[in-house]
Amino acid sequence: MKVGDLVKLAKWCKNGPALMQVVEQGARNNFFVDALFLEGPEIGTIVEVANGNIFALEKYDEAMKEHYESR
**According to the model, what pLDDT value does residue 57 have?**
95
Q: Does the pLDDT value for residue 3 go beyond 90?
A: yes
Is there a domain that residue 12 lies in?
yes
Q: Does residue 26 lie in a domain region?
A: yes
pLDDT digits (tens, 9 = 90+) for 18-50: 999 999 987 567 889 999 999 999 999 999 999
Q: What is the mean pLDDT of residues 41-70?
A: 94
Q: Provide the number of structural domains found in the chain.
A: 1
Three-state DSSP at 65 gives helix
Judge whether 46 lies within some domain. Answer: yes
| Domain enclosing residue 39, as ranges | 6-69
CB 43 within 8 A of CB 37: yes
In DSSP terms, 6 is beta-bridged to 21
The answer to whether residue 60 sits within a structural domain is: yes
In a domain, 1, yes or no: no
Residue 55 lies in a domain: yes
Average pLDDT of the chain, as a whole number: 92
**Residue 32 confidence (pLDDT):** 92
Query: Rounded to 5 degrees, what are φ and ψ at 47?
Result: -135, 160
